[in-house]
Structure 1
Amino acid sequence: MTAAVRYDEVEVGQELPAAEYNVRRVNLVMYAGASGDFNQIHWNERFAKMVGLPDVIAHGMFTMAQAGRFVTDWVGDPGAVVDFGVRFSSMVVVPDDDRGATISVSGVVEEKLEDKRVVVGLTAKAGDAKVLSKARAVVQLS
């Protein structure tokens, strides 16, 4: 865990250091087991293509979790996230190769609220596609 982010050291417009999260099919299988979402589009290439997808795709909630991970890594405390929401805007296609896919997440402090809380706007992309929209986290700082 990183050192706590202090409210008085954060400014509106401040960019958070971007991060990349690699996604391989094994990650999707593990997530399916943890979440109970065994929809075949997340692990079976033949089925995914049969229903019109380009390949296996990551679970939307898995993608959202990577954005959440980005915020908790920044703040250093998973319990500091008091509100978190996104809309899913595109798929994360995960090819069956050694590289898989990469979800790139960046953020900016959009607003400072009372009680030492900040609103962080998030951008998540896979390749050139924005995979989350209206992604925001409210974080309690020290």
Structure 2
Amino acid sequence: MTAALRYADVEIGTELPERTFPVRRLDLVRYAGASGDFNEIHWNERVAKSVGLPDVVAHGMFTMAQACKLVTDWAGDPGAVVEYGVRFSTPVVVPDDDTGAEITVTGAVTDKRDDNQVVVTLTVRSGGAKVLTRSTATVRLA
């Protein structure tokens, strides 16, 4: 196990290492089972297109969770995230092929607070488009 990230070692502007998360239709089916969200736009191309989507799209909360994984891995403890919020801007389109889609996440510390907390602002993209906006996580460090 790695040592906990220390508040004293983090400055405003500290960048988190970029991560890319693959998203395949199988991931969406598994997420649907775990979350109970079986909305057909997440697995049925015909239904997704009938409501104006280009194809099947990932669950918003799945996308949100993938983005936060960058933060929890960086902090070394999922319990260190004390607040997390996003705005959904563009869905992650997941084609039915061997590749699927990718979610790419970058982040940087944008604020340090007196109570060992830092604010991390994330940039989350898929297919060249920002899929989440106003994505921030407040993290309590050791």
TM-score, normalization by structure 1 = 0.97
Unaligned runs of at least 5 residues, structure 1 = none
Q: C-alpha distance in 1, partners of 2:122/2:40? A: 29
1:87 and 2:69 matched: no
Distance 1:3 1:127, change over 3 A: farther
Instruction: Please state whether the residue corresponding to 2:57 is helix, strand or coil.
Output: coil
1:109 and 2:109 matched: yes
Give the match for residue 98 of structure 2.
Answer: 98
Percent identity of the aligned residues?
66
Report if the CA contact (8 A) 1:72-1:81 is conserved.
yes
Give the letter aligned to residue 30 of structure 1: R
Unaligned runs of at least 5 residues, structure 2 = none
Distance 1:54 1:95, change over 3 A: same
Q: C-alpha distance in 2, partners of 1:103/1:97? A: 16
Give the letter aligned to residue 29 of structure 1: V
1:137 and 2:134 matched: no
Q: C-alpha distance in 2, partners of 1:47/1:67? A: 27
- RMSD over aligned CA atoms reads 0.9
Q: Give the CA deviation at 1:3.
A: 3.2
Q: How many residues align?
A: 142
